[in-house]
Structure 1
Amino acid sequence: MKQVGNAIRGFFNSRLGFFILAIALFWGKTYWAYHTKFNLGVSGSMQEFLLALNPIPTTLLLFGIALYMTGRKSYVVMLVIDALTSTWLFANILYYREFSDFLTFALIKGSGSVSNNLSKGILGILRPDDFMVFLDVVVLILLLAFHVIKMDVRPLKKRFALGVSLLAVLLFGANLSMAYSDRSGLLTRTFDNNYIVKYLGLNAYTVVDGVKTAKTSATKANAKASDINSVLSYLNKNRTTPSVTYSGVAKGKNVFVIHLESLQQFIIDFKWDNQEVTPVLNKLYHNQNTLSFDNFFNQVGQGKTADAEMMLENSLFGLPEGSAMVSDGTSNTFQAAPAILDQHGYTTAAFHGDVPSFWNRDNTYKSWGYDYYFSKSYFSSGKNYDVGYGLKDKIFLKDSAQYIEQLPQPFYAKLITVTNHYPYTLDKANQSISQTDTGDDTVDGYVQTARYLDQAIGEFLDWLKASGLDKNSMLVLYGDHYGISGNHKKAVAKLLNKSTFNDFDNAQFQKVPFMIYMPGLKGGINHTYGGEIDVLPTLLNLLGIKNNNTVQFGSDLLAPNRNQTVAFRNGDFVTPDYTKVGSSYYLTKTGEKLGKLTAAQKTAIDAASNRVTTELSLSDRVINGDLLRFYTPSGFKKVDKKDFSYKLSTALAMLKAAQEKEPTSVLAKNKGKSTVDLYKTDAPELKSDSSSSSSSSSN
């Protein structure tokens, strides 16, 4: 027995033995992470085998680099590689927990545009067992430090190191071959990164993403004018005739677009603790003058809010990796809602209570043609005014009123709320409803921030009425993306009083509110299936603006006989009949999972799949190749970014001049008398500041 122990110890005291131990420990923790930290949708013995196999080839290849080194350097290099790859795994675990996706180079490149306040979000999702991914590194270091394992400084033949590298390549080739036999077109037709990690592993996914990123850069450089022809051909064959009934009913009206951060459809009419969580939105949702949509889905990818804005104002999908606003917002040519409306006599303005560079908005909004961008420097600042990603909604919306009343009418104004943003924390002074009791911190605070957002919207609507703006405006409200990701299934099931919450339920959980309110509008709850890609065509038709030659992938939600296939960024989809999640299909009406498809089911599902794949690919081609620089619709004037400046002094001078040159604003029509004093809010921060000012004055 002692001889066996000595033999084992002697083996691990050799460089080969240490190398195999490092490989085994890294494989074990990676396989553990695959099963416990990610939701890869593994089904069947082949996929389970590939999941177990795929960490080995790339780990052999990377750790094998150390075998080319001599002496102690070999051990140090091996530990450094182990630590770096473990850090990458750790970062992906944290990112995946909230976004159900893996990190990409495009996302990392654009992280500077969204970096403020991220530390608070990271701390909120961190779990103690996440650090288990560094355990193997610590164990190896301790084994060497305490001389349990001694370094073998004897030279290793280079052909041995070369043999390990060759073995890694051969194993990866076998892995790839088996993966393709189970999932054809894995690297050419897959929009979902889960597939690549499931079949090839996280390290291989990183390489694939790097190649994609480089290829995308080359695409723009090599694009030519004829590349837009296939896009136009597809769109012209598939254009939907917009609704005649609603065409032009809002012509000449002001348009308010209110961005409801992270608000999901389930919260409409939802009650907690015997209270409606969103009574204001509920009332608006059921108003006879509101067009409400109960099958409206968010379609975002990694860009989250930025993807929602891209779809809302361009009817182009976000990119499969990163954010198009960050990677292409500065340089690309767009034909966005602000530019279209500006060329039809509208003043256009965006409002956001955070730094202008967030999601690269300060540059992207110029490319989209916004006349004004009111960001952080335009608004009040004070103690407890901010909540993570900008001004609290009640303060933000009240402060926005001073600029809204100065905008020449008609205007298009987009207001981006932020308080209902992950991690859904709110100070006690602003809480008006108790947390839910699922035991999940991410889920339980959601009703409190949603209630606060609802109250802020209520105060804003009261001001619109008091100022008279409601009579001549169309109000559009939409949820930008999910607030609670699919990684909280157990808590969501409890919240919704369901026994289970599966992948089908999560697909349906991607519904977000979409409402269009206007006095005299023929409203009601519309059951058509659609998403954010369809907003722009719908609004343009309501405003009576011609839209039959643009590059837009959505269709008017009010059009009869429209195609109701809703594409998700990862290639999944929902239709009134079928829902696709990964490689599984469900009946949308019942949630029943389909086994072997009938001929009719296969035909319908194949048609929907082809439509989704085609539209996502064509939209990507438009953005990655900057193809709109080669095509300008008749009647549209190309945007010149040099025409816009969002400096505070410049904007204030423009607004002042507009009161005389274009005296159509609320302020001008009110003979210079402001309506801001009509804005009533119960924001405790403002009351506190007011009390402090009064106290100082009396002293």
Structure 2
Amino acid sequence: KTLLLFADAIILMFISRKFPSFGDKTPLSRSEKRTFFSGVTALLALQIVVSVIYKPQMFSRSFDRQTVVKNLGLYTYHLFDITLQSKSSAERVFASGDGFSEIKNYTDSKDKRVDKNLFGAAKGKNVILISMESTQSFVINKKINGKEITPFLNEFIKDSFYFDNFYHQTGQGKTSDAEFIVENSLYPLDRGSVFFTHATNEYTATPEQLKKYGYSSAVFHSNDKTFWNRDVMYPALGYDRYFNLNDYAGTEQMSVGWGLKDKEFFEQSIPKLKSLPQPFYTKFITLTNHFPFLLNPEDQYVDEFNSESGVVNRYFPTVRYTDEALKLFIKQLKEEGLYDNSVIVIYGDHYGISENHNAAMAQFLGKDTITPFDSMQLQRVPLIIHVPGQEGKVVSKVSGQIDIKPTLLHLLGIKTNKSVEFGTDLFIKEKDPLMVMRDGSFVSEEYVYTKNMCYKRSTGEEADMTLCQPYIEKAKTELKLSDKLIYGDLLRFDPNNRYKTGTMTTKFE
């Protein structure tokens, strides 16, 4: 395949030798050169324009390099990639330590307190993060056709901390945004994915920080290593090992939709998990509950919903399947002696049902229609934190993915008072918590702001915009400062950024 990239050059060399006149080296005139380069530029521009017209989301969703290359062509893709990297490099060059100081002063002013009863409650324990693909909170403790959608999770939360007002905060980067937010306590960018545009930045991500405390780290995901540019970004986050598609055995019967079924994925991951030095920090990314939510009949534990939306109908069986896969995974952790020595964090990465399916969602929720306020409530995703030795509790604090990092570090007994983070510990009682979405929408203790409308959170009734205005300004400030930090690669100026990492091991064959 690599040789094919040079096939045109080889053919041209053959032709020039066979037909000497073909390689006429008569110099081009200035006008001919101008015409030639103008023509090439025009053709490249035309190709990009046509690609945008027929594939309008290709650039904003450039998570799969192979797909982008297929649509643009190899050479045009490289020009596109060079343009993006040049823009990022320019912003980095003109950034300074003064910009970092501004951001540090702001994050230092945030509530850095710890919960005295839970700080260090999991000191020295392993960490197992599970990213649940497209899972939203409306399925928790709900039934379809008389059957529970998430019977295992419904039981698991009884022995865990369950956050029922927890929101995803992702943008165009979807799953990669969720990973970035959770492990850095920074906001995603307003365009594209940080995993692509700023994978060479310096970060102080959780896996990198935990190296100082003797933790090994690994990601488990049965997908192509280049998807979302993970093979480049994970080393920047401090990961030691990436178990990707090349590490898993798969057959047609074992796979569905985007890859290996979750049951197979977890089962094959257990031996790999056992091989890691302890304590470890690990992340598992599920796949079965991925759009368009396909599942073989023999794997369905509940029937499809009955609405005009096939997407909504198929969503419930795939959620139920992932729930069953989690049940088996937790059972295996117990059998291998890992359960009682591990903090387990299960979170939904982003929404699964878009607003295009509001009519079907209204039917499921028993509503006449889905209002903007309702849509905001549907952005809630599950967050479950199981800490060995701790009793279960429902925490209703307004929160988001940006709060996971400081919460987890505090459970491990690690202070974050010097860290640059926009999140706060989920267990402390803040005076007025605020969850900010990438588009500037927010949820506070009393108000919800979305689509230029202000609502009372307790009733969903419209409220005067002046009541939301102070939070709107605060949301803008947080997003602006987080963007500035990423675009300028400002964490390189952080004197506390001393957790330097080595090379991540990835199976490439």
Q: Any conservation in 1 of the 2:64–2:227 contact (CA below 8 Å)? A: no
Match of 1:625 in 2: 488
Q: How does 1:127-276 map to 2 (within 5 A)?
A: 218-276=90-148
1:112 aligns with 2:65: yes
Alignment partner of 1:637 is 2:501: no
**CA-CA distance at 1:219 after TM superposition:** 1.6
Corresponding position: 1:326 with 2:196: yes
Q: Distance in 2 between matches of 1:243 and 1:557?
A: 9
- Partner amino acid, structure 2, of 1:231: I
- 1:397 and 2:260 matched: no
2:134–2:348 contact (8 Å) kept in structure 1: yes
- Alignment match of 1:522 (pick from 366, 388, 391): 391
Cα deviations across residues 33-68 of structure 1 (Å, max 9, x unaligned)?
xxxxxxxxxxxxxxxxxxxxxxxxxxxxxxxxxxxx
Q: Which has the higher helix share?
A: 1
1:647 and 2:507 are equivalent in the alignment: yes
**Matching of residues 502-541 of structure 1 within 5 Å:** 502-541=371-410
Q: Residue 14 of structure 2 aligns with which residue?
A: none
Instruction: Identify the residue that residue 420 of structure 2 maps to in structure 1.
Output: 551
Q: How do 1:50-89 and structure 2 match up within 5 A?
A: 88=52
Q: Which residue does 2:479 correspond to in 1?
A: 616
Q: Is the 8 A contact 1:296 1:529 kept in 2?
A: yes
How far 1:226 moved relative to its partner?
A: 2.0
What is the alpha-carbon distance in structure 2 between the residues aligned to residue 399 and residue 252 of structure 1? 26
Q: What secondary structure sits across from 1:574 in the alignment?
A: strand
What is the aligned partner in structure 2 of residue 159 from structure 1? Answer: none
1:387 aligns to 2:256 (yes or no): yes
Aligned to 2:131, the other structure's residue is in SS state: strand
CA contact (8 A) 1:113 1:326 kept: no
1:575 maps to which residue? 444
Answer whether contact 1:489 1:502 (CA < 8 A) is retained: no
Contact 2:257 2:295 in 1 (8 A): no
Instruction: Note the C-alpha offset of 1:114.
Output: 7.2
C-alpha spacing 1:637/1:87, structure 2 compared with 1 (3 Å): closer
- For 1:455, give the aligned amino acid: E
Give the C-alpha shift of residue 238 in structure 1. 2.1
SS in 2 for 1:628: helix
Equivalent in 299, 323, 338 of residue 169 of structure 2: 299
Deviation, 1:498, is 1.1
Maintained 8 Å contact 2:108/2:420? no
Which SS does the other structure have where 2:394 is aligned?
Answer: strand
Write the mapping of 1:277-356 to structure 2, written as runs, cut at 5 A: 277-285=149-157, 287=158, 289-329=159-199, 331-356=200-225
Task: Tell me, in whole angstroms, the C-alpha distance in 1 between the residues paired with 2:111 and 2:462.
Answer: 32
Listed one character per residue, the Cα deviations across residues 345-377 of structure 1 (whole Å, up to 9, x for unaligned) are 111111000111111111111111111111111
Matches of 1:559 and 1:256 in 2, distance apart?
Answer: 23
After TM superposition, give the deviation of residue 91 of structure 1 in Å: 3.8
Identity, % of aligned positions: 37
Whole-Å separation in 2 of the counterparts to 1:366 and 1:481: 24
**Quick one: distance in 1 between partners of 2:305 and 2:471?**
38
Alignment of 1:455 with 2:327, yes or no, is: no
Look up the SS of the partner of 2:373 in the other structure: helix
Cα displacement (A) at 1:546: 1.7
2:440 partner amino acid: G
Contact kept, 8 Å, 1:117 with 1:389, in 2: the verdict is no
Greater strand share, structure number: 2
Cα distance in 2 for partners of 1:271, 1:388 equals 24
Q: CA deviation at 1:109?
A: 5.2
What secondary structure does 2:109 align onto? helix
Tell me, in whole angstroms, the C-alpha distance in 2 between the residues paired with 1:213 and 1:583: 34
| Cα deviations by residue, 1:251-291 (Å, 9 ceiling, x for unpaired) | 01111101111000000011001000110011112x1x311
Shift of 1:215: 6.1
Which of 527-536 and 469-478 deviates more? 469-478
Alpha-carbon distance between aligned partners in 2 of 1:416 and 1:318, rounded to the nearest angstrom: 19
Structure 1 residue ranges without an equivalent (≥5): 1-76, 96-102, 119-210, 650-699
CA distance in 2, matches of 1:354, 1:231: 36
Provide the residue aligned with 1:375 in structure 2: 244
Which amino acid is 1:623 matched to?
Answer: I
Give ranges in structure 2 of 5+ residues lacking alignment: 1-41, 72-82
CA shift, 1:561, in A, is 2.1
- Name the aligned partner's letter for residue 292 of structure 1: Y
Between 1 and 2, higher relative CO (CA 8 Å, sep ≥ 6) is seen in 2
The one-letter amino acid of 1:316's match is L
| TM-aligned CA distance change 1:562 to 1:112, over 3 Å | farther
One-letter identity of the residue aligned with 1:252 = G
1:338–1:370 Cα contact (<8 Å) kept: yes
CA shift at 1:108, angstroms? 5.6
RMSD of aligned C-alpha atoms?
A: 2.5
Deviation for aligned residue 1:518 = 2.4
Distance 1:468-1:440 versus aligned 2 partners, 3 A rule: same
When normalised by structure 2's length, the TM-score is 0.84
> Counterpart of 2:15?
none
Q: CA deviation at 1:466?
A: 1.4
- The one-letter code matched in structure 2 to 1:647 is K
- CA distance in 1 between partners of 2:85 and 2:247 (Å): 36
Q: What residue in structure 2 maps to residue 655 of structure 1?
A: none
CA gap of 1:109–1:264, structure 2 versus 1, over 3 A, is closer
Kindly provide the CA deviation profile for residues 542-577 of structure 1, in whole angstroms up to 9, marking residues without a partner as x.
110121111111110111225411101001111121
Cα distance change, pair 362–632 in 1 and its aligned pair in 2 (3 A):
farther
Measured after TM superposition, the shift of residue 86 of structure 1 is: 8.5
Q: Secondary structure at the match of 2:173?
A: coil
Counterpart contact for 2:126–2:278, Cα < 8 Å: yes
Contact 1:367 1:639 (8 Å CA) reproduced:
no
